[in-house]
Amino acid sequence: FGSSVFRGRPQPRLTMPIRGCTEHLHVGRTYHEFDNLRQTLGRSSDQKFDFVVIPLAAPGGTGAGLEFRPSVDSEFALDAEVWASRVVGAVSDSLGPAAFAGDLAAIASRSEALQTELRWGLHLGLHGILLPPCLEVDGCTNYARTINDCLVSGVFGQPGSDGVPVAVRVSADNAGWLAWNRLRVLCNHHQGLAVALEFPAKVDASDRELLRWLGEPVLFANLSTSSFVENKQGFPVLPRKQKSLLLELFHHPCKVLLSGEGDVGPHLDYVARLFQSRPAPTQAELFGQSHLDCLQSPLQPLQDNLDMGTYRMFEEDPVKYVQYEEAVLRFLQERLAAGRTAPFVVMVVGAGRGPLVTASLEAAQRAGTQLAVWAVEKNPNAVRALWHKKRTCEWSCVEVISEDMRVWQAPRKADLLVSELLGSFGDNELSPECLDGAQRFLAEDGASIPQSYTSSLEPVFAGKLWDELRSNHEAKHLDMGYVVNMGRKFCPSVAIQDCFTFAHPNLGLGNDRYAELSFELEADALVHGFIGYFDCILYGDVRISIHPKTFSEGMFSWFPMFIPLREPLFLRKGQVLKSHWWRRHDSSKVWYEWTVSHPVPTPVQNAGGLSWSMALS
């Protein structure tokens, strides 16, 4: 922190509520030895720590079965709720990967000793358990096999479940990530294994490579006093890379561990001030937090009628309808400047409960002109809302039509066709098919809002989401796309690539597509699938977008699309991932297919739309 924070007088110690989430800081103090646990807890609490980390074994007490000597006499040393909320246990470092090199009998003995310590910690119902550091050394494969035994036998709890979370200590540098990835693969990507991320004083990783940890199940950020450097005023601060990573981890439910000899109060103060330096969340961020990493099936508005709650949520977007109003205004201003006269015929297709009608009328008022509006909606429940607004909102120039836009016979040609039929991947809610059916009643020189939209893709590491889909035990769940506000993710590619583009009016009258997209990776990474976005030109230079490069700030009507691979692919920095994408249709549905052809070929997913499709009726 800058000198102005600390200059002149000691800063008051900050109080941190005992909750592990993104709104509250949760910090523990690591003790490598202690005499009296109750006194240690009291001392740490006085120092404003929320919990402690203690060794599970007494000094020299590692062993199997009854040979194991715990660091506390019995479970009665503390009440159950104190064990669960204020104590994390650390498995002995002597039972780390290096201990698992040697003959089979020695490996079996150490495996039993490790499981004995684990089971003791689980018996106590601790706040968490830390496993020895994950290293690429002789014995690491046997170490992984022992951990995998515990995972498949149900010894570990799931992160976020009622069980005791278990995290393996991992260095934040490149070697640490490669060792962790090896362990994760050997344990078959099991959800029960998490990370306690150790921050070394010097990190051998680029800023981009450090961002990989944002996609990992990091439960603890482990800071030693040696992780810090002194600033010009003599106060401990984290180096730039470590500080940036910790700030990013604060967006996840990640607890902080502090270890080291002597007074760690200044280090705790620094962490607390860093946490409180984060900007307040925006309205869109607050909305997104309730949907974080929650897989949702995309809407199918042609097949299903939306409910009131869905309409209401979309209508609360503070950006989308402002942009629509601006787009209609641009259209009207252009026509007026060209000498066209009112009233302008506007057909709002898929009118819902009327927000696009309102936006169009307000644009006309700003332009000083009149409209004749047809609001076309197939959902009879939404039509009732349109009738209500026609009666109560001075919609004298609005005709409400309870019809499907594809079959309605319009009484006259429209100057402007307005719609909001986009999905997270642009065309996945069948906007092209809907507007193709409606464009027959567009005047020869008529226009559409939107004018065009383009979907785009990039590869993503998203282990949490992929694990959740795999756990359904049905292959079809990995052959489907999902709307999701991704929290734990890492995007390793150099650039996002455009996929499919659609323009309206559609003069080609064909909506099947094929795209070949290649992505160069900027870091070693596992790829679990792809993130899909869209960028939409409403009119002229007025747009709405969820593409990261052109994102409409503050808009929350759409989350990105997650399109998984059946198996994750490991790629090295500089390698190219080549993918292929199809949009296909038959008489009843539209669907996507996708595959990877390089560096290794994968099966074409969702062939024939057997797992996932969009119904045409």
Element (H or E) spanning 431, and its range?
A: helix 431-438
DSSP code at position 394: T
Rg (CA), the chain: 29
CA-to-CA distance for 617 and 609, rounded, in angstroms? 16
N- to C-terminal Cα distance for the chain?
59
Catalytic residue among 117, 326, 429, 433: 429
Catalytic residue among 117, 209, 420, 593: 420
Mark whether 81 is an active-site residue. Answer: no
Q: Is the dihedral angle over the CA atoms 543, 544, 547, 550 positive or is it negative?
A: positive
CB 192 within 8 A of CB 200: no
DSSP code at position 434: H
Buried b (16+ CB within 10 A) or exposed e, 260-279: beeebebbbbbbbebbeeee
Structure tokens at 367: 């332009």
Element (H or E) spanning 401, and its range?
A: strand 398-401
Mind giving me the DSSP string for 471-489?
TT--GGGGGS-EE-B--S-
- What Å distances lie between residue 185 and 130, 143, 180, 510, 567, CA to CA? 19, 13, 9, 43, 11
CA-to-CA distance for 503 and 452, rounded, in angstroms? 4
Binding residues for S-adenosyl-L-methionine: 311, 320-321, 377, 404-405
- What Å distances lie between residue 133 and 37, 97, 136, 157, CA to CA? 25, 8, 10, 19
Q: Considering only CA atoms, which of 272, 290, 269, 273 is closest in space to residue 281? A: 290
Q: Partners of 490 in the beta sheet? A: 461
CA-to-CA distance for 544 and 320, rounded, in angstroms? 7
Binding residues: 311, 320-321, 377, 404-405
Element (H or E) spanning 566, and its range?
A: strand 561-571
Answer whether the bond into residue 301 is a cis peptide, omega within 30°. Answer: no
Q: Considering only CA atoms, which of 202, 204, 213, 207 is closest in space to residue 167? A: 213
CA-to-CA distance for 406 and 383, rounded, in angstroms? 17
Mark whether 429 is an active-site residue. Answer: yes
Sheet (strand 442-449) strand order: 398-401, 371-376, 344-349, 414-418, 442-449
Return the ∠ at Cα 553 (arms to 552 and 558), rounded to 5°.
60
CA 448 centroid distance within chain: 33
Alpha helices by DSSP H, 297-410: 308-315, 320-337, 355-367, 380-392
Structure tokens at 3: 């000198």
Return the ∠ at Cα 63 (arms to 60 and 68), rounded to 5°.
80
Structure tokens at 278: 């984060």
CA 346 centroid distance within chain: 39
Residues labelled as active-site residues: 420, 429
